[in-house]
Amino acid sequence: MANYLAIDIGGTFIKYAFMDDKKGLYGHQQIETKENIDDAILKQIEAIIASSLQHTSIHGVGISTAGIVDRVKGEIIYAGPTIKHYRGTEFKRRLFEIFQLPVHVENDVNAALLGEIWQGAAKKQNQVYCITLGTGIGGAYFHHHIIDGFHHQANSVGYLLFDPMTKTNYEMRASTSALNKGIKEEFGEGVSTKEVFTRAKQGDVLCVSIIEDWSKEVAKGLAQIILLIDPKCILIGGGISRQGDYLLHHIQKQLHLFLPDDFLKTELKTAQLYNDAALYGAVYPFFKE
């Protein structure tokens, strides 16, 4: 049985699991991401692979990671503040030198989109835009293949819609961090995002208002994507996607404000694979080949 190791590197946790030749994930584990001093994260990945090889044979390693990735070289070419000292990390070269295993490295939002196209909400679709709403906002575009621009910097949607008056950009106003900030301003520390959605569904006027205001900010960015590339489908990922149709209803209602008549033909969907999406996408290239 062929086994592949799928790894998802985030700023807080490194998650990993195995995939067999039946395309099922198993053996999920996670560890805390170390502060990236002296290639600490690369060393963590080396340790995960070495430990895994003691228990099973591995035919390839797929890595999903924060940051901008040169997927040919398997190298981090840009990283924001999420992971410090990350730029220049050469996963593919280093891991092949040690383990002589094929390695694929992909940006985490790209990987999540590939996972959803392969095994999730966007199955069999060939023109999909994925936007992840979390601590920040990430984007990925698939049109027969991942499209990330000449310099690998396309889909950096969090930087859209900069407002010089407030000095805020799209992700500062439309991320779930922004939603949480609004909730805290209204209720203090004790009320979670999940609870606000629950109350809103029960008719709480203030909670509905908070969600509508935030949904309007989300819709502003989605409108730009629709006007620029007219995707068949926009897939909304991140933990907030668990709110499903209720979330889509509020965003869809606001989208009409920012688009000309008859321009809202793009289907909105929420992700299905949640935390497993990037793991599926990390190893997808092995099954595509």
pLDDT tens-digit readout, 248-280: 999 999 999 999 988 989 999 999 998 899 999
> Whole-angstrom distance between the N-terminal and C-terminal Cα of the chain?
17
Mean pLDDT of 88-92: 97
CA separation, residue 181 to residues 133, 167, 184, 187, 249 (Å): 14, 17, 5, 10, 22
The model carries a pTM of 0.91
Tens of pLDDT along 162-221? 999 999 999 999 999 999 999 999 998 889 999 999 999 999 999 999 999 999 999 999
C-alpha radius of gyration, the chain, whole number: 19
Q: Coil, strand, or helix at residue 105?
A: strand
The answer to whether 130 touches 232, Cβ cutoff 8 Å, is no
Quick one: tokens of 117? Answer: 């196209």
Over 90: is that where the pLDDT of 289 sits?
no
Q: Where are the domains of the chain?
A: 3-107+275-288, 121-272
Distance CA 57, CA 2 (A): 8
User: Does the fold of domain 121-272 match that of domain 3-107+275-288?
Assistant: yes
Residue 26, pLDDT score: 94
CATH of domain 121-272: 3.30.420.40
Tens of pLDDT along 109-146? 999 999 999 999 999 889 999 999 988 899 999 999 99
CATH of domain 3-107+275-288: 3.30.420.40
Tens of pLDDT along 57-72? 999 999 999 999 999 9
Query: What is the SS3 string spanning 239-255?
Result: HHHHHHHHHHHHHHHHH
Q: List the one residue out of 72, 138, 141, 61 whose CA is nearest residue 101.
A: 61
Residue 284: partners with Cβ closer than 8 Å, 6 or more residues away: 62, 111, 114, 115, 118
The answer to whether 197 touches 211, Cβ cutoff 8 Å, is yes
